[in-house]
Amino acid sequence: KILNSVIFLFVLLSFLSLSYSSERKGNGKIKGKITEKGTKRPLIGANIILLNTKLGASSDRNGNFIINSVPQGEYTLKASYISYRNITIEGIKVIENETTEINIELEKSFIDVPSIVVTASKRTQSYTDLPVSVDIVTSREIKKLNTVALNEVLEYSPGINIIGGQINIRGSGGYRMGTGSPVLLLIDGIPVLAGDTGDIKWDVIPITEIERVEVIKGAGSALYGTAAIGGVINVITRSASEKPETNLRISGGFYSKPIYKEWIWKNKHQAFYSIDVSHSRRIGKLNFLLTSGRKYSQGYHQNGEYDRWNLFCKIKYSFSPGNHWTLFTNWATEDHGVFIQWKNINSPLEVPKENVGEWTRSNKLNIASKYYRLINRNLAFNIKSYLYRTSFMNVLYDSTTHSRSNRIGNEVQFDYFYKKSHVITTGLESIFDIVNSDLFGGFHYGIDAAFYIQDEIKLNKDFKLTAGFRYDYKKIDSLKSENQLSPKLGLTYNPNNSITFRINTGRGFRYPLISEAFANTVQSGFRILPNPDIRSESSWSYETGMNFLISPFFQGDVALFWNDYWNFIEANPDRKGSVRFENLTRARIKGIEINSQFAPYNFFTILFNYTYIKGEELTGGINEPLAYRPEHILNISGDFLYKQMKIGANFRYISRIKKYKMFPDDKRVPVYLVDAWIGIELKNYVLQWKANNLLQYYYTKIERNLAPIRNFTLTINRKF
């Protein structure tokens, strides 16, 4: 009944909003050109917004922009572009039926300075206004790192560690055996988590079409609900080009042979390759982007092969300025081998004889629709609907299991600017899961209905207060229903354009997944047991920090964080080797994160990030380290630019993991990794070479699973 009521409200509000026309006579326009200071080179895709309104625009390939339907009045304009210093222009007057012209010049910064963010408050914001820690990964960074999956890129970001394909932001997740991500993944603002296992399917992300990735750290449940207890990742794909454009990316490489002869399981180098093709264009008010690709690898260990195919389509139709509809489609399929543990310490790249040939097939389909309507300069709404369908089949020596899930989601959101001192964001959301799986005990369903509201209050020109909450009703068939209230509070102090201080607190929660409550199977000798008494985990997160831009040559961010958890969900093995997902009474994760960029010369850039994480299990009054979490993560990288050539390297240190769970006595070592790359940009070509794990360092993050050994990749990008 609650779910039906929520959906009815969606429909009612949508029709009421559609009936209110945003086309108003007597408005004016603001147009102009945005260029690089000194060279006058046009900046493509720069962001121009009118502060305290919902009005804005992006510059075209010639640097031109136009903001239509601007009511008469006086405005403050903010222009931003990645790697350039933001500029704010006050006192821009707009007169009825007239056009105000303004030309903007942005000063080059030799470091990647974030400009705007859309994820932290579910709307466009200036980076300096954020009360939470945010990291931005640009398309330029993704291309430089030359990988086929986003999780391989995110490991270079501050505070992030990937274990067994599962992402940890500041130690929020550890390793949960392929289920229960504590981080919510969005693609263009649409949630993309499987309805049965709640994990991230990295192959569904179109890595060649990413414009940027926004990583929000800390509990995000006050706006995003369950699954955002550890943070939010929003993958923002690029817009279609104005003129027809085709891109071809061909990549190939191989793994080195192990140093130790007894480790060699193949007499030849194991190879991998990928091919991606995309095309985009605009036809009148319609623009579209279509990309497809294949990734294949023989793997560096036995059962390590994979074969992935993917398709991504993005269609956008603009009815008028501030009134557009977007359709997204993601499809991916993958066949890959299964490697649960090695044969023995002397044969770490082989599996036990009985496990040879085990494999998994998975399919993913995501269809999403998003409609945005600017009603007037102070009010806008958007409606999102999506279907995310996943299925997989495990073929193991002792079992064959299947699972199929459908997640159906709807959301309507309103943004209202009130008297230039309040920005109110409010909305309704519903999610319905349908799962049919012999792995999880047959048929199950899940319901989530939610309401959220947030107010950003401008106290004066230097201080901003953010306050809000979200209410969730959550139910999975035979489990007890729960009502969750997740408040948040944040404050920013911005005395000038170069420094921002922030402090925030918020509550997070994660309702148990169908896989955590009902898994009942034997896989490769491991018994996984159900736990119908499992409850939601919850947390309170606290953070204080500052970001600063001392000059065009130096930028940094420092944060102190403290997260308290109750009923923390972890996979716990018993003495017989059976595994059950259970609630810990208490846990705590605290630490510090430091991130900086330094460009002493316009041809040389240094990036440094360090995270200290102290994770403790407090159950029974005994402080023990949380499993699968390092205390120290350090990344140092440098890039040297000479004409059209860029040469760079990265050093990554991950301290020794103090605690394993499945095989607690296994030896653990710290991680020391060196990666190197070279890129050359020609007129229509980009050539890239990269070496991963250049020094051939051997280590594990999960018991009896050797991490990737040294490999080399050569990539050719061609634009038509």
- Given a cut of 80, is residue 526 above it in pLDDT? no
- The mean per-residue pLDDT over the stretch 545-550 comes to 89
- Given a cut of 60, is residue 9 above it in pLDDT? no
Longest pairwise C-alpha distance within the chain:
80
Per the CB < 8 A criterion, the answer to whether 617 and 626 are in contact is yes
Both tokens of 497, joined, read 């354009």
Decide if 2-106 and 116-719 have a common fold: no
Name the strands in the sheet holding 183-187, side by side, starting at the edge strand that comes first in the sequence: 134-138, 210-217, 231-237, 183-187, 190-191
The DSSP bridge partners found for residue 390 are 364, 405
% of the chain exceeding 90 in pLDDT: 66
The set of residues, in sequence order, having a beta carbon less than 8 Å from that of 19 and lying 6+ positions away, is: none
Q: How confident is the model at residue 180 (pLDDT cuts 50, 70, 90)?
A: confident
DSSP 488-523: EEEEEEEEETTEEEEEEEEEEEEPPPHHHHH--EEE
Tokens 């079992």 appear where?
399
Report d(CA 465, CA 493) in Å as an integer.
9
- Given a cut of 60, is residue 477 above it in pLDDT? yes
Closest CA to 344 of 703, 63, 93: 703
Tokens 């969005």 appear where?
186
Backbone angles phi, psi at 209, to 5 degrees: -115, 20
C-alpha torsion sign, points 561, 567, 573, 575: positive
Both tokens of 120, joined, read 């932290």
Per the CB < 8 A criterion, the answer to whether 312 and 298 are in contact is no
- Given a cut of 90, is residue 407 above it in pLDDT? yes
Per the CB < 8 A criterion, the answer to whether 213 and 136 are in contact is yes
- Given a cut of 90, is residue 413 above it in pLDDT? yes
Residue type, 669: V
DSSP 430-457: EEEEEEEETTTTEEEEEEEEEEEEEEEE
- Given a cut of 60, is residue 299 above it in pLDDT? yes
Give the pLDDT confidence of 414-436 residue by residue, as tens digits: 999 988 889 999 999 999 999 99
- Given a cut of 90, is residue 310 above it in pLDDT? yes
Q: Is 18 helix (H, G, I), strand (E, B) or coil?
A: helix
Fold for the domain defined by 2-106: Immunoglobulin-like (2.60.40)
CATH number 1.20.120.330 is the correct assignment for the domain at 116-719 = no
Both tokens of 243, joined, read 């003129």
CA distance readout (Å), 183 to 193, 218, 501, 562, 580: 10, 10, 25, 17, 21
**Which region, left, alpha or beta, applies to residue 591 given φ > 0 means left and ψ of -120 to 50 means alpha?**
left
Q: Is 17 helix (H, G, I), strand (E, B) or coil?
A: helix
Q: Is 375 helix (H, G, I), strand (E, B) or coil?
A: strand
Give the pLDDT confidence of 16-41 residue by residue, as tens digits: 444 444 444 458 889 999 999 888 88
CA distance readout (Å), 557 to 32, 298, 587, 620: 33, 41, 27, 36
User: What are the DSSP E strand ranges found in 618-719?
Assistant: 624-625, 632-642, 645-654, 671-681, 685-692, 700-702, 705-706, 711-719
% of the chain exceeding 70 in pLDDT: 96
- The mean per-residue pLDDT over the stretch 208-233 comes to 93
CA distance readout (Å), 616 to 164, 569, 620: 21, 14, 12
- Given a cut of 70, is residue 535 above it in pLDDT? yes
- What is the per-residue pLDDT for 61? 77
Give the pLDDT confidence of 668-683 residue by residue, as tens digits: 999 999 999 999 998 8
State the chain's mean pLDDT as an integer.
90
Report d(CA 195, CA 434) in Å as an integer.
7
The residue ranges of every structural domain in the chain are 2-106, 116-719
- Given a cut of 60, is residue 86 above it in pLDDT? yes
- What is the per-residue pLDDT for 52? 77
Give the pLDDT confidence of 98-150 residue by residue, as tens digits: 899 999 998 877 677 777 788 888 988 888 888 999 999 988 899 999 999 99
